[in-house]
Amino acid sequence: MSDLLLTPLNALHLELGARMVPFAGYSMPVQYPAGLMAEHHHTRTAAGLFDVSHMGQLRLVGPDAAAAFETLIPVDVIDLPVGKQRYGLLLNDDGGILDDLMFFKRADDIFVIVNGACKVADIAHIQEKIGQRCQVIPQPELALLALQGPKAVDALSRLAPGVEKLVFMTGGHFDVAGIPCFLTRSGYTGEDGFEISVHSSQAEALARALLAQPEVKPIGLGARNSLRLEAGLCLYGNDLDTTTNPVEAGLNWAIQKVRRTGGARAGGFPGATKILAALADGISAEGQKPLRKRVGLVALERIPVREHTALQDTAGNAIGEVTSGLLGPTVDKPIAMGYVAPEFSAIGTRINAVVRGKIVPMEVVSMPFTPNRYFRG
């Protein structure tokens, strides 16, 4: 593991007894001694602290930054008010998804957070495409912590009074236990919570201050995955990649009206012709070939159905594939996400998964699998 990168919290993870695994080029904690199930339940009932410092953080600076960024993502950046965050999709020229990301409009810049496994390529892509129009400033000196769960606000507001006034997808600069941070009320668990950007040199002090709060326990990547899947949230590399477009992925909500056909700034993003045609009528631009659809699935037998498991109709014909799957600790059922031919995407449709040669019946269900509990005021 010597060639793996370490986050600023590496020594703390080891001190806490974490089992470390390679992830996105980093040595990361997959679980702590309490174990995945306990960590998952603790996040759903109290507050969990996640190290997500492997993710990429960058700033887009300059008067043209918002308009420039709109040439890379099918999202309304220009009209996003200062102080608000939005989800975005970095697209290739074919309309495939290079990465999904979060961006926040600040008074003097646009702050962007991208996935760890994609960050080097993403930053190079953004620099190449819009580096002439605005400054693209990577911030490798920053760490990122996520505090998630219904009691996250209790723990954090003790150290940073005022954070309780934030609502979902807003944020600002706060001193947390005297440490300067930039944080947003958002996350990747379906729970209320916060993502906290902090200088690497102060990340451990911040983590220790948060872990000292009675509600907070450390949570590894294992529970991060089960929490996000129950919340119906995509994982880049599993549920999204360059072969999927936003319409197939069911991410139409992430493309605001202003960027759609008839909108004031319609198109103007990579793959626009293809994506806007798919939005309009569900057919691909090359012809009448229907799109696949991302769906939620529950197994009707207590057998976990993992990624890359083949999906069939009840007659045994191939109709798609599972992209994420596990036994959901909160719902206490085997749940999955995957892509199927559109005629099998209706809620209530029965299909089969093939697990090691055995047929496991599944049903298409709505997502999230467990209700989201974001704080909207």
Q: What is the pLDDT of residues 117-139, one digit of tens each?
A: 999 999 999 999 999 999 999 99
Three-state DSSP string of 51-86? ECCCCEEEEEECCCHHHHHCCCCCCCCCCCCCCEEE
List, in order, residues 6 or more apart from 298 with CB less than 8 Å away.
331, 333, 334, 335, 336, 362, 363, 365, 369
Question: What is the secondary structure of 218-276 as a DSSP string?
Answer: E--HHHHHHHHHHTT---BTTTB-TT--TTTTT-GGGS-GGGSTTSTT---STTHHHHH
User: Looking at the predicted structure, is the pLDDT value of residue 35 above 90?
Assistant: yes
Looking at residues 143-148, what average pLDDT do you find?
98
Across the strands, what pairs with 31?
19
pLDDT in tens, 177-229: 999 999 999 999 999 999 999 999 999 999 999 999 999 999 999 999 999 99
Is the Cα dihedral 70, 225, 154, 200 positive or negative? negative
Q: Where are the domains of the chain?
A: 5-53+141-230, 293-365
- pLDDT confidence of 60, banded at 50, 70, 90? very high
The pLDDT value recorded for residue 273 is 95
pLDDT of residue 281: 77
Q: Phi, psi at residue 16, to the nearest 5°?
A: -85, 0
Output the pLDDT for position 17: 98
Nearest alpha carbon to residue 89 among 80, 97, 77: 97
Three-class DSSP category at 146:
strand
Note the pLDDT tens digit of each residue in 271-310.
Answer: 999 999 999 876 555 554 567 999 999 999 999 999 999 9
For 232-245, the pLDDT digits (tens) are: 999 999 999 999 99
Q: With H, G, I as helix, E, B as strand and everything else as coil, classify residue 155.
A: helix
Give the separation between CA 360 and CA 271, rounded to whole angstroms. Answer: 37
Q: 10 Å Cβ neighbour count for 153? A: 20
Nearest-angstrom CA–CA distance, 299 and 363: 7
> Hey, how many other C-beta atoms are within 10 angstroms of the C-beta on 172?
16
- At 237 the pLDDT is 97
User: Looking only at Cα atoms, what is the longest distance across the chain?
Assistant: 63
Give the residue from 279, 217, 281 showing the smallest Cα distance to 250: 279
* Mean pLDDT across the chain: 96
From 121, 360, 78, 367, select the one nearest 236 (Cα to Cα). Answer: 121
- Output the CATH code of domain 293-365: 2.40.30.110
Q: Which residues contact 375 (CB under 8 A, 6 or more apart)?
A: 153, 166, 167, 168, 185, 192
- Per-residue confidence (pLDDT) for residue 287, from 0 to 100: 53
Q: What is the CATH number of domain 5-53+141-230?
A: 3.30.1360.120
- Beta sheet of 110-114, edge-to-edge order: 85-91, 97-105, 110-114, 56-61, 135-138
Residue 46 has pLDDT above 50, yes or no: yes
| % the chain with pLDDT above 70 | 97
Task: Taking residues 46-53, report their average pLDDT.
Answer: 98
CATH topology match: 5-53+141-230 vs 293-365: no
* Size of the chain in residues: 377
Mean pLDDT of 102-106: 98
Q: Is the pLDDT of residue 161 over 90?
A: yes
Closest by CA to 144, choosing from 122, 169, 165, 114, is 114
pTM: 0.97
What is residue 1's predicted lDDT score, i.e. its pLDDT?
47
Whole-number pLDDT of residue 314:
97
Task: Quote the pLDDT of residue 280.
Answer: 86
Residue 173 has pLDDT above 70, yes or no: yes
Q: Which of 74, 371, 76 is nearest to 247 (CA)?
A: 74
